[in-house]
Amino acid sequence: MNLYINSCVRADSRTDKLARAVLERLGNEYEELFLPNEGLMPLSEEMLNKRTELLANGQTDDEMFKYAHQFANADRIVISAPFWDGSFPSALKVYIENIYAVGIVSAYSPDGAPIGLCKASELIYVTTAGGKYIPDFSFDYITALCKRCFGINNTKLVFAENLDIEGYDAQALLDEAIENIDI
């Protein structure tokens, strides 16, 4: 199953349009997780204590872990995340916080290093930027998590940039990015 993690809050999101073009190129059916509608919350002390206790007791079937299981079992993952304020929407960070369950998406080696447990063959990160796209705290962060913690060694970036720069044709830039998708 392909998993589409959509963190785009705008109804007419350029990032979502680019991501849907990627999904179309993949030619497979997918399950969409629209993060703005999921009601995910940052982990509170109470939630952390519950998660710790459940994981310590091997109780990974709790509803709290449904997103972690979905992520860990996906064959391929596509994330759409507009480039906002040097990173991605906070909904995506909250999602990551909620899926990071040891024993589901990762484990630890005897020396404490993370070992990825996810079965996805690749993760495709899709973004658009009003100005120049800087991947440091968005795609690079996701790639590091995938490779170092989740066991997803193949990550790809699909992006369009400079969409809000005066004198640039945003639609033409987006169309060009769609035409040049290489997956």
Chain length of the chain: 183
pLDDT surpassing 80 at residue 132: yes
pLDDT, tens only, 17-45 = 999 999 999 996 999 999 999 999 999 99
Tokens found for residue 57: 């007791």
Tokens found for residue 178: 């769609």
Structural domains in the chain, CATH included, are 2-179 (3.40.50.360)
pLDDT, tens only, 50-91 = 999 999 999 999 999 999 999 999 999 999 999 999 999 999
In angstroms, rounded to a whole number, what is the distance separating the alpha carbons of residues 61 and 70?
12
CA distances from 126 to 10, 19, 45, 55, 147 (A): 15, 6, 32, 32, 17
- Beta strands 122-128 and 30-34, pairing class: unpaired
Mean of pLDDT values over 114-120: 98
- In this prediction, residue 183 carries a pLDDT of 87
pLDDT, tens only, 2-22 = 999 999 999 999 999 999 999
User: Are 80 and 4 a contacting pair, CB within 8 Å?
Assistant: yes
Predicted structure pTM score: 0.96
Q: Which residues contact 79 (CB under 8 A, 6 or more apart)?
A: 5, 7, 19, 92, 123, 124, 125, 126, 142
pLDDT surpassing 90 at residue 140: yes
Mean of pLDDT values over 119-139: 97
Residue with tokens 């990015």: 177
User: Are 128 and 173 a contacting pair, CB within 8 Å?
Assistant: no
Q: In Å, how far from its chain's centre is CA 23?
A: 14
pLDDT, tens only, 144-180 = 999 999 999 999 999 999 999 999 999 999 999 999 9
